[in-house]
Structure 1
Amino acid sequence: MTTIVLDIEGTTSSTQSVHVGLYAYARPRLGPHLDAHRDDPEVRAVLAGIGAGGTAEAVEVLHGWMDGDVKATPLKTLQGRIWAEGFAAGELTAHFFPDVPPALRAWHAAGHRLAVFSSGSVAGQRPWFRHAADGDLSVLVSHWFDTVNAGPKREPASYERIAATLGEPSGLLFLSDVPAELDAAAAAGWRTIGVRRPGEPNAAAPFGPRPIVTTFEEIHP
């Protein structure tokens, strides 16, 4: 059995679907969500992480992070909460490349374990997989990791933490479109495959001496 750990943006799903669709949905809802959930411990932690007193100041910081594509934990947490509400309300639908759902179902049926490691919060990952256009894919995933419970995606220590949960690194396979993430996983003893999706931002990135695919159909764990 292989445990296949999936990146999302640029790997299972288009970058545009996240940056244009989800970001545009979350942006005007940041302030209202903060105001409506100020007594929630997770929201209080978000505000503490931003270091801002009022809502307007917090939103200004959050918008700056969004504009700079900063992988800040408070932003990812808040976005995940807003996206979960959007999916639950039927206002959002997740995008997956056409080859992904059949591959995930086939791997799962063959006895392989599936996990996700994304910079987006676990709160956002679960509904993304649950609300795929062709059915609930979240039932196929056994573990969810983000920068809060694992650490930065470009640091080997994060993959070591994940391995402490999933098992021996030699049995772990990481799929990503970001060479630096793959390098970090490889440094932690994982197997890695670079995913080169045509039209994606990292389509021309140098992946080094590792297997590279353009579709999940090419992967045989």
Structure 2
Amino acid sequence: MCVNESIILLDIEGTITSINFVKEELFPYAAEVLEDYVKTHWNDDDFKEDLELLKKQAANDTSLEGFIPIADDGEDAKKSVIENVLWQMKNDRKTTALKQLQGHIWKYGYDCGNLVGHIYSDVPSVLSKLLDEGKKIYTYSSGSTDAQKYLFKYSCMGNISSLFTKYFDTKIGPKQIETSYTNIAKEIGVNCSDILFLTDVIEEAEAAVKAGCNAAILIRPGNLPQDPEKLLKFRTMKTLDPLVNDE
């Protein structure tokens, strides 16, 4: 498969890291240490920023079922933050506030040696070859840019962060909205047609294509089944190897 595009834009979960790692290790770890993390880091600058984002998000969530408000101060505030975050996690929210906090919790886990990031074995070698061909590699994930950096720095394949030019998260826009991809192209300084987006989610690929990008679907072990008819519109791969092999 010949890659004509100069920019490779990578989704992460289900594309270059295992969904099982995210669902069975990262998310449970964040929930497990949340209470201790909030109490221990309450006065840290990073957490103060996280708290402000959580409060802003809470102000927009008041009409949602099961919503848990965040108290203003004291021990009640800590308890309410913990309960609000657990509520968001239970409902698999993709809010920037939640993702930023999770990223900081995961950094804590990586630093302590409690977490090691999963990366598929084909990823480093393929991305290295693409770089040798003059391609530039970016990521776009619902996880925060910080969470992405830690995953690559503390990965099971070693520190592979040097492979990536820049990281994008949902601050640039939701992943299933085409304007997010035009925003990324503007940020990079290229045309959408210069971008090949790789993901495991058809709706994300469709949004990228609407923006003028090219897209392909990764079918990794554990990924959710995709609509067979919609899949026919895209190139599909089980690994990244076809990007550098004549297949």
TM-score, with normalisation over the residues of structure 1?
0.92
Task: Report which stretch shifted further, 23-32 or 170-179.
Answer: 23-32
Partner residue, 2:237: 213
Larger radius of gyration: 2
Identical counterparts, % of pairs: 33
CA distance in 2, matches of 1:85, 1:111: 35
Shift of 1:39: 5.2
Shift of 1:218: 1.4
Q: Which one of the candidate residues 162, 171, 184 is aligned to 1:162? A: 184
Equivalent runs, 1:32-111 vs 2, <5 Å: 32-35=36-39, 36-38=41-43, 40=45, 41-51=48-58, 52-53=70-71, 54-111=77-134
Deviations 1:79-103 (A, max 9, x none): 0001112112222111112211211
Q: Which one of the candidate residues 168, 173, 177 is aligned to 1:145? A: 168
Q: Which one of the candidate residues 113, 116, 120 is aligned to 2:139? A: 116
Q: Contact 1:94–1:129 (CA<8 Å) still a contact in 2?
A: yes
Deviations 1:24-58 (A, max 9, x none): 11112223333323452412323313431112222
Shift of 1:67: 1.9
Shift of 1:208: 4.1
Q: Which one of the candidate residues 5, 10, 13 is aligned to 2:9? A: 5
SS at match of 1:215: coil
CA distance in 2, matches of 1:102, 1:108: 10
Shift of 1:152: 0.5
Task: Report which stretch shifted further, 113-122 or 68-77.
Answer: 68-77
Task: Report which stretch shifted further, 120-129 or 81-90.
Answer: 81-90
CA distance in 2, matches of 1:48, 1:88: 27
CA distance in 2, matches of 1:202, 1:45: 37
Task: Report which stretch shifted further, 87-96 or 113-122.
Answer: 87-96
Deviations 1:1-43 (A, max 9, x none): 6110110111111111011111111112223333323452412
Number of equivalent positions: 220
Q: Which runs of 5+ in 1 are unaligned?
A: none
Q: Which runs of 5+ in 2 are unaligned?
A: 59-69, 72-76
Query: CA-atom RMSD, angstroms?
Result: 1.8
One-letter code aligned to 1:122? T
Shift of 1:158: 0.8
